[in-house]
Structure formats: C-alpha cells, structure tokens
Homo-oligomer: A and B are copies of this chain.
Amino acid sequence: MPLLVKLNPTVSDAAALLEKAVRSRSLILAVGECRVSYDGRASSTLGWGERLVMIKQDGSVLVHRPVGYEPVNWQPARCLVRVKVEDPKALVLSASRQEPREMILIEFGEIGLLATGNLHDSGEFALHVTEEQMKEAILVAPELVEEGLKPLEAEKSLDEVGFTDIYAEDHLGNLVVVEIKRNPATKAAVMQLQRYLETLRTVVSRPIRGIVAAPQLRRGAQPLLNSLKLEFVKVSPEGCLAVLKSRKDTKLSYFLV
C-alpha cells in the first residue's frame, strides 16, 4: 500500500501528482477547497467550500461534503477524468461520460491534503439473508424444516417484537410453531419460543410442537431446549437464499408462459 501524500501542495505540484495518478488509475484523495458544477440529466452548482474529493481506481468520482451519507456530486465508474491548469492557480478536474452525456467540473482552491496510491482489495464480501427472507423461504419450501410440514397462516405477532415465526401442521396433524433465527439461537430465543407456546396453549388444546429454526444453537441453548421439550432444526441463511432464488425463477417463468 504505497501512498504518495502531499500536504498543502502548490497548484503545479498538485496538478503533476493528479495527472500521474489519473494516468495510472490510482486512488486519489484530495481534501481542500473546491467548487463543483454538474451538467447532464440535470444540472447543479456547488459554491466554494472544503470537501473531500475521491477518484477511485475504476474512474468513479465522488465529492463528499463534511456531512451527509451521500456524495453531493459524483460520476459513476468508467468516466473520462482529465486534469487541467487553466489560469495560473486554477486547477480544474473534469469527469465526463456519455450515455447519459454528462460531466462534472471540480475547480480546486487551496488543497490541504492530496494522497494517491493503489489499494489492493481482494477481500470477499458476503451479504447474508435476513430473518424475514428466511421466513419467506420456509413458507415456500417447508421441507427446509421438516418433510410433510404444511404452513397454516401468516405470523401472529402476539405483540412479540422480533419474533419471526410460522404456524404449521406436521404430517401427524400436530400444531407446529417455528421460530426462525438468522443468527445462532441463544437461550433468550428459546425462552421466547417457550413463552409464546405457553400463551398459545392457553387458547389451543391440541398438541403443539415448538421448533427453533436457526443456523445453529448457541452454547447453553441445547440443554434448555431439551428441558423444555422443544426442538432444533438447522436452517442456514444460504439454503434459504437458494430457495428464494429458485422461486424467483419459477415465478418469472409463470408470468412468461
């Protein structure tokens, strides 16, 4: 991670460093005064102020104000970035693309920090499925929990917060309550299911089974589960994801018939 860093560079220094970095498609960070104009799908102007300008290694350009999640101005990847020194002391950076045809112009004033370098990032990013999605998947493919399971109706919350559950019937006709956890189920989760079942048994006389569906049981949850005569079924977010994907496919083909 060799970084080239300049503090309070002159215009010519900054221009030289920027041009080199743009050519080599390095990451560029510039903290300093600038103003920005944009023209394309819409048009905008941004007066002078201190911001962070970031040019990424794929050519995307981001102008960030000191507050706010979103960049105030930007340009997506694969745009053409150019550095110009127009008048003495006027360093301008342009980023343009076509389709749609648009460009942003960033005029710099005093720059406090200019840093460039090539970051190496091969780390894997994995976004996991949500509890709600796991529930969806189990409703579509109840065999993820147990063969012969038939979901009865949608969630009845009982004012329980964070309780993702499914009502179902097993192949013997027993009522089944499935509590879904995306993360390893804790003793608290088991107790939550237990309280739910207790409430339910005051209004339903038929036998009720309680199943915790989660990727695994946290330490200490298994003994509690046994003593309460509840059950655990391993259901992984990944397996649910696969079901959701396949369902998407079938749904799509249904509409295309």
Contacts and interface: CB of A to CB of B under 8 A. Distances in A.
Contact of A44 (B57, B118, B121, B127): B127
Contacts of A119: 31, 49-52, 65-66
Quickly give the copy total for this chain: 2
Interface in A118-137: 118-130
Interface string A105-129: 0000010110101111111111111
B117 A44 contact: no
A188 interface: no
A220 interface: no
Interface residues of A, number: 61
Contacts of A45: 125-126, 128
A35 interface: yes
A231 to B, nearest CB: 24
Contact of A76 (B32, B44, B69, B241): B69
Nearest to A39: B183
